[in-house]
């Protein structure tokens, strides 16, 4: 059914829960998974709860006492796209530049701009985790 639905409407996002005893639990899982799909925008438009249970639990966690850092990127779509691509490509500048269809030198300034606006450097692994959490919580 999922394969058929994705063939009929290839632009549709599809979130799938685990098989649960009650519909409310399944709906909650699906809603959480859809949020992750919309926020992180992975390559595949289909996402299953089994693939992202950590991110589902990570999203609502109150890990910081300061205002959401990603809100500072809200008006800069190119920086949000860069951050998402950087997350998906494990911080690889070359792969991120290829995915965004920009020159690697053009990409060099974007992480610096993200750091200027947020105070977090996406090239630093721990700070990239904070930015990822910021994306997930900001767009809940």
What tokens were used for 73? 């990127």
Strands 46-48 and 14-16, how do they pair? parallel
pLDDT in the model for residue 66: 55
Domain segments of the chain: what residues?
A: 2-58, 69-138
pLDDT at 135 over 80: yes
Q: Please give the angle made by the CA atoms of 82, 122 and 13, to the nearest 5 degrees.
A: 45
| Among the listed residues 13, 124, 127, the one whose alpha carbon sits nearest the alpha carbon of residue 70 | 127
What tokens were used for 49? 């709860």
Check: CB of residue 59 under 8 Å from CB of residue 137.
Answer: yes
Under DSSP, the state recorded for 68 is P
pLDDT in the model for residue 74: 85
Topology of domain 69-138 in CATH is Arc Repressor Mutant, subunit A (1.10.10)
pLDDT tens profile 49-84? 999 999 998 888 887 655 588 888 888 999 999 999
Global pTM value:
0.77
């Amino acid at each position: 059914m999922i394969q058929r639905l994705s063939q009929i409407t290839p632009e549709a996002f599809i979130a799938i829960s685990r098989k649960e005893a009650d519909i409310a639990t399944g709906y909650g899982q699906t809603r959480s998974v859809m949020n992750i799909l919309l926020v992180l925008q992975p390559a595949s438009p289909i996402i299953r709860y089994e693939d992202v249970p950590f991110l589902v639990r990570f999203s609502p966690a109150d890990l910081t006492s300061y205002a959401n850092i990603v809100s500072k990127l809200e008006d800069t779509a190119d920086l949000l796209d860069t951050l998402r691509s950087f997350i998906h490509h494990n911080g690889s500048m070359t792969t991120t530049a290829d995915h965004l269809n920009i020159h690697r030198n053009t990409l060099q300034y974007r992480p610096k701009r993200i750091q200027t606006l947020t105070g977090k450097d996406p090239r630093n692994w721990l700070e990239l985790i904070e930015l990822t959490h910021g994306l997930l919580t900001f767009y809940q």
